[in-house]
Amino acid sequence: MKNYNDEQKALIASDKKWLSISKSAQDFLDYTDPEFKFLPPNAPFMGEKETAQEFWRSIVETPGLTLTWAPESAEAPVDSKIGAIGFTYGFYVLTNIDDAGVETVDKGKYVTVMRKQESGEWRPLNDIFNSDGE
């Protein structure tokens, strides 16, 4: 196993990669752990990848809607009965420009629990985010 700082860097790199490739609902989910669970705001728990895929599709396919996020830090690893577990946390910005050109911005925070795959890569296992409500 790598040392703590290397694992932290690997988790942050995985989080950034997930954002960079998530241009479609399929890409978003293809990067996740097989047992991925999604807990978005103002929506029910999504224990099935198909449900999470539909939610993500609504984000990437809605004109004028963009979601970005950036990891602030990471903690890793914890060996558990389901493998090496770590997490990232950070902040997101969800911007919507409606048909009239009016922009709304929602800022919030997130935590992504990741599991180390047999390949050595970290992949999202659970993702939760919520609005700052401003």
C-alpha distances (whole Å) from 43 to each of 11, 51, 54, 93, 98 are: 26, 11, 12, 17, 21
- The predicted pLDDT at position 19 comes to 93
Q: Please state whether 120 falls in left (phi above 0), alpha (psi between -120 and 50) or beta.
A: left
Mean of pLDDT over the chain: 91
Candidates 60, 52, 75; CA nearest to 127 is 52
- The predicted pLDDT at position 78 comes to 66
Tokens of 117: 């795959």
- Judge whether residue 1 has pLDDT over 60: no
- The predicted pLDDT at position 81 comes to 67
Candidates 89, 90, 85, 92; CA nearest to 122 is 85
CA 114 to chain centre: 10
Query: pLDDT of 72-91, one tens digit each?
Result: 999 987 676 677 899 999 99
Query: pLDDT of 14-40, one tens digit each?
Result: 999 999 999 899 999 999 999 999 998
